A and B are shown apart, each in its own frame.
Chain A
Amino acid sequence: MSSQSPPTERREESEEHAPRGGLTGARIAGVILVLFGLVALYQTVGIIREGGLAPDSPGVFPLVISAGLVVFGGIFLFGAFFRPDPELLETAAAEGERTDWRRFALILAALVVYVLLLAPLGYILATTLFFAGAARAMGSRRVVRDAVIGLVFAAAIYFGFTELLSVRLPAGIFPGGLL
């Protein structure tokens, strides 16, 4: 913060600013919720076309539930535009401000790569790589330490589950269950 501007003006600006950040987010969330409800409703039309709309047919609950999603999503969206809930905006703005979206995307990408590599690489190797990668994405700077901890963790889970609990996990590139 710069010290030149008068403190009172500064304060007002930041108060104004915080809810606005939340407002955009709430509006986007509202639009997505309504769209989701409409997709559900569209699908329901297909279900009803196939199974009819007798009181005990498979279409009744989907109709009620997708209609509920549209209605409550609509109320939420309406609120976000015309009657914003100050508490919600404050939470959303604070959450939005402290979220690092790049990190979020990286962690999600690491998860997807992890599950795709599980079978081909095997549980231990894939988990070790994921451990180092995800910890790095979350801001860790000590890649070697993370990888070593990941290896120990993965090996403990692998042997604990396959030997003690007889739950099968992918052995991957180590044929015959490693070593």
Chain B
Amino acid sequence: MDVFSSLLAGFSTALQPQYLLIAAVGITLGTFIGVLPGIGPALAIALLLPLTYSFDPTGAFILFAGIYYGALYGGSITSILLNTPGEAGSVATAIEGYPMARSGRGGVALATSVTGAVVAGTIATLAITFLAPLVARLAQNLQATDYFALILFAFVSVTGLVGSSFVRGMLSLFLGLFIGLIGLDVLTGQERFTFGILELYGGVEIVVVVIGLFAIGEALDNGSTIRRFAEEVVRVTGRMWMNREERSRVWKPWLRGSALGFVFGSLPTGGSEVSTFLSYNVEKQLSRHKEEFGHGAIEGMAGPEAAASASFSGVLVPLLTLGIPTSATAAVMLSAFQIYNIQPGPQLFEQSGGLVWALIASLYIGNVMLFVINLPLVRLWVKILDIPRELLYTGILVFGTLGVYSLSNSVVETLIVYVVGVLGFFMRKFDFPVAPVILGAILGPLMETQFRRALEISGGSFAPFFTRPSTLIILILAAAAFLLPLGLRALRNRAA
């Protein structure tokens, strides 16, 4: 009922000239960073975090939304023209988009990507507009045990569903949980895993983890790689827009991708990986052009592109209403909220309603702007791919260092980032998934707090975890999400 008036108020904030300018800057910067090979939205936001320190919270979050959409599209450009997906969510784009570009349809692929992102982003933003307030109202009844169970669910789904190896997924998660424990215990002030280093008493900032794992790790990896063959950027030639046949083939994948992206984004399944993967397979099953898949099937990239864009709005639902981030991007955004002393959760819509609705309104605006800014600028973005690699990765190291140093002004803290970067480097060498580390580091402390709060309320009894119906249901779902992939894997192994 009052969703409309709230949204209207949000628009009246977000449409102010300075916020429109911020949104445009965010999209431009986001695309610029996202185009750089190997960099996805989470890292783009983390790297650009220092830019926002002088903004008010509303401006900062409008900037983040712009950066996210821009970085997502920038990543698609790289996937299509260079075949180097920056995040797991854009792998499908590379599988179909790169062959399209190779066969002279790069312009069409880019247009499909940006239009699909805008369509899906708008649909998903509509969904969040109506769903988020409802979830927030429901969430007000949640208790500590429910939160504990929800976070457990998030952990299980991110390690069980993502990545090829269960053991490596769990190791990543536990490394993240370990990082989250470092520092003084919130309740008792007891030192944990600080190794006597003063800078670790306050814990390791999530920005440090993200910049270290993604930026420093990626730059170390690429900087020390011997390139035997020069990577070739496919030139964009020919049409820049879809023809009638292509248009008729993409709109259904866009709609299906939007739905998958939003639903799986808002469930605790960790961002766009699952939904883009599902979308790709759905389109492959439904397509009348199955033989084209792997060789540049337009619906095979239209669906996942839409899913990736929609999943961002989906991920915002648990982030804004429960305060639980379920993707690396959301984790960085949560830490940004914390810089501004804003605590996402059921109370957010009441306490900071103006900010939330301005953010949601700016998602609509950001989608339109993405289209307006990036469709004409594609040829300019493509030029970024020509920057020599050694300068590119040196630049990323400079920016990563800047991100941490400007936040802390501390040499030791910056060295900690490098240590995390070396960890990220070796994780890449042995194919460990990175996302569980970040979720573990940010959700682990949250989980522990809820766990101990629940036990304090119950006087040390574990009974509420099993007698409270909502908690029990979530725990059962988590157990199912844990056992299902294991069972499937066992079945597949037996068949093989």
Judge whether A53 is part of the interface by a CB distance below 8 angstroms: no
Are B444 and A61 in contact (CB-based, < 8 A)? yes
Known A-B contacts A61-B448, A91-B431, A99-B225; A167 and B390 likewise in contact (beta carbons under 8 Å): no
A127→B405 CA distance, assembly (Å): 13
CB distance from A121 to the nearest CB of B (A): 13
Known A-B contacts A65-B174, A134-B223, A134-B397; A96 and B50 likewise in contact (beta carbons under 8 Å): no
Smallest CB gap from A142: residue in B? B388
CB under 8 Å from chain B, chain A span 83-101: 85, 87-88, 91-92, 95-96, 98-101
Smallest CB gap from A87: residue in B? B164
Are B225 and A69 in contact (CB-based, < 8 A)? no
Are B422 and A54 in contact (CB-based, < 8 A)? no
A25→B425 CA distance, assembly (Å): 13
User: Which candidate, A12-20, A72-80, A171-179, is the interface stretch facing chain B?
Assistant: A72-80
Are A29 and B430 in contact (CB-based, < 8 A)? yes
A137→B457 CA distance, assembly (Å): 57
Are B455 and A72 in contact (CB-based, < 8 A)? no
Residues of B within 8 A of A169 (CB): 402, 405-406
Are A73 and B190 in contact (CB-based, < 8 A)? no
Residues of A within 8 A of B430 (CB): 25-26, 29, 88, 91-92, 95
Judge whether A45 is part of the interface by a CB distance below 8 angstroms: no
Known A-B contacts A76-B171, A118-B405; A56 and B418 likewise in contact (beta carbons under 8 Å): no
User: Which candidate, B97-105, B181-189, B334-342, is the interface stretch facing chain A?
Assistant: B181-189
Most chain B CB within a 10 A radius of its CB, from A56, A137, A140, A169 = A56
Are A56 and B455 in contact (CB-based, < 8 A)? yes
Say whether chain A's binding surface is mostly helix, strand, loop, or mixed: helix
CB distance from B169 to the nearest CB of A (A): 9
Judge whether B414 is part of the interface by a CB distance below 8 angstroms: yes
CB within 8 A of B174: which of A69, A87, A91, A92? Answer: A69
Are A111 and B391 in contact (CB-based, < 8 A)? no
CB under 8 Å from chain A, chain B span 156-185: 164-165, 167-168, 170-171, 174-175, 177-178, 181, 185
Residues of A within 8 A of B431 (CB): 87-88, 91-92
1/0 per residue B394-430: CB within 8 Å of A?
Answer: 1101100110011001010011001000100110111
Judge whether B130 is part of the interface by a CB distance below 8 angstroms: no
Judge whether A135 is part of the interface by a CB distance below 8 angstroms: yes
Judge whether A50 is part of the interface by a CB distance below 8 angstroms: yes
Are A58 and B174 in contact (CB-based, < 8 A)? no
A56→B223 CA distance, assembly (Å): 46
Are A101 and B460 in contact (CB-based, < 8 A)? no
Smallest CB gap from B462: residue in A? A55
Are A47 and B192 in contact (CB-based, < 8 A)? yes
Are A138 and B394 in contact (CB-based, < 8 A)? yes
CB distance from A137 to the nearest CB of B (A): 7
Are B192 and A58 in contact (CB-based, < 8 A)? yes
CB under 8 Å from chain A, chain B span 211-236: 216, 219-220, 223-226, 228
Residues of A within 8 A of B415 (CB): 112, 115
**Range of interface residues on A (Cβ < 8 Å):** 35 or more
Known A-B contacts A62-B193, A92-B431, A100-B226; A114 and B401 likewise in contact (beta carbons under 8 Å): yes
State the interface size on chain B (CB cutoff 8 A). Answer: 63
Judge whether B452 is part of the interface by a CB distance below 8 angstroms: yes
Are B167 and A138 in contact (CB-based, < 8 A)? no
Are A140 and B390 in contact (CB-based, < 8 A)? yes
Are B390 and A138 in contact (CB-based, < 8 A)? yes
Are B50 and A85 in contact (CB-based, < 8 A)? no
Are A165 and B51 in contact (CB-based, < 8 A)? yes
CB within 8 A of B422: which of A99, A108, A150? Answer: A108
CB within 8 A of A167: which of B53, B397, B428? Answer: B53
Judge whether B456 is part of the interface by a CB distance below 8 angstroms: yes
CB under 8 Å from chain A, chain B span 439-487: 444, 448, 451-452, 455-456, 460, 462
A51→B406 CA distance, assembly (Å): 36
Judge whether B389 is part of the interface by a CB distance below 8 angstroms: yes
Are B190 and A58 in contact (CB-based, < 8 A)? yes
Residues of B within 8 A of A33 (CB): 171
Judge whether B16 is part of the interface by a CB distance below 8 angstroms: no
Residues of A within 8 A of B426 (CB): 29
CB within 8 A of A140: which of B187, B388, B414? Answer: B388
Smallest CB gap from A43: residue in B? B193
A79→B165 CA distance, assembly (Å): 12
A51→B185 CA distance, assembly (Å): 11
Are B429 and A99 in contact (CB-based, < 8 A)? yes
CB under 8 Å from chain A, chain B span 354-412: 388-391, 393-395, 397-398, 401-402, 405-406, 409, 411
| 9 extra interface residue pairs, beta carbon distance < 8 Å, beyond A43-B192, A92-B430 | A29-B430, A55-B460, A56-B451, A56-B455, A98-B226, A98-B228, A111-B216, A114-B401, A130-B397
Which of A's residues lie within 8 Å of B, judged by CB?
25-26, 29, 33, 40, 43, 47, 50-51, 54-58, 60-62, 65-66, 68-69, 72-73, 75-76, 79, 85, 87-88, 91-92, 95-96, 98-101, 103-104, 107-108, 111-112, 114-116, 118-119, 127, 130-131, 134-135, 137-140, 146, 149-150, 153-154, 157, 161, 165-169
Cβ contacts A to B, 23 pairs, < 8 Å: A50-B190, A51-B185, A51-B190, A56-B456, A61-B181, A79-B167, A95-B428, A95-B429, A107-B220, A107-B397, A115-B414, A118-B411, A127-B398, A130-B397, A130-B398, A131-B398, A134-B393, A138-B394, A146-B391, A154-B398, A165-B51, A165-B53, A169-B406
